[in-house]
Amino acid sequence: MVEPTEPPAEMSSISPFASDLLERAQRLGAATLHEAAGRIGALPSAIKPVDPRMRLAGPAFTVVVPAFDNLWIHRAIYQARPGDILIVGTSDGIEAGYWGDVMNAAAEQRGLGGLVIDGGVRDTAGLAEARFPVFSNGVCIRGTIKGFDVPARLQQPVAIGNVVINPGDLIVGDRDGVVVLPAARAAEAIAAGQRREEDEMVKIARIRAGERTLDLYGFGEDAR
């Protein structure tokens, strides 16, 4: 288990990923990048955007909170850099509404890149209308507490499902779900995703011209 530490006192305001790389990642999408990276990094399928039009791409700023306690999420909003994606583990306390209109406004004002939380959110009518991307495990009205004696657990590895997310990993999300790409492999995965997309476009054109998927992929004859 990772020991609690104090939050970082100062962080660079510069994202580790170039803006054009983030734009390419967002355009390619979570499913393509998951496959292109070797089928890694897929977060649990229950984690979806509050509104299906929401998309995000940016470096992970990780947060771990005790179940049903959201104080350190408030604090993380002001520790994270513009463009960072808050990645929140809730210590298996999924059934609570950790995030709502007030925190959404604060994160948007700070210029953060989005939220991915292994727990519930509320005020979803307002969240859906806002521009800030929110991805959660569901909608829950159960309130949270503020544990003022809880030590900080910011910018440490956090596990969501069977994926361990490290600070700075590339997070990409859309209506299909969320993928986590290790920072050192992000550019490689995006380049592979581009090649995959181009190959799929060629295959789709051939299918529309009358070819069969069985032949394109070498799957053999139909079952008889």
Within the chain, how many helices (H) and strands (E) appear? 7, 11
β-pairing, 56-64 vs 138-139, is unpaired
DSSP code of 141?
Answer: -
Residue 118 assigned as binding residue: no
Q: Which two tokens stand for residue 149?
A: 């004696």
Measured in whole angstroms, how far is the alpha carbon of residue 80 from the centre of its chain?
15
Least Cα distance to 54 among 131, 117, 124, 138 occurs for: 131
Name the amino acid, one letter, at 92: D
- The answer to whether 123 is annotated as binding is yes
215 is in an annotated binding site: no
Helix (H) or strand (E) holding 114: strand 114-117
Rounded Cα distance, 40 and 37, in Å: 6
Which token pair is 177? 């779900």
Query: Could you give the CA distance from residue 54 to residue 99 in angstroms, rounded to a whole number?
Result: 16
Tell how far CA 82 is from the center of its chain: 15
Q: Is 101 annotated as a binding-site member?
A: yes
**Binding region for substrate:** 100-103, 122-123
**Binding region:** 100-103, 122-123
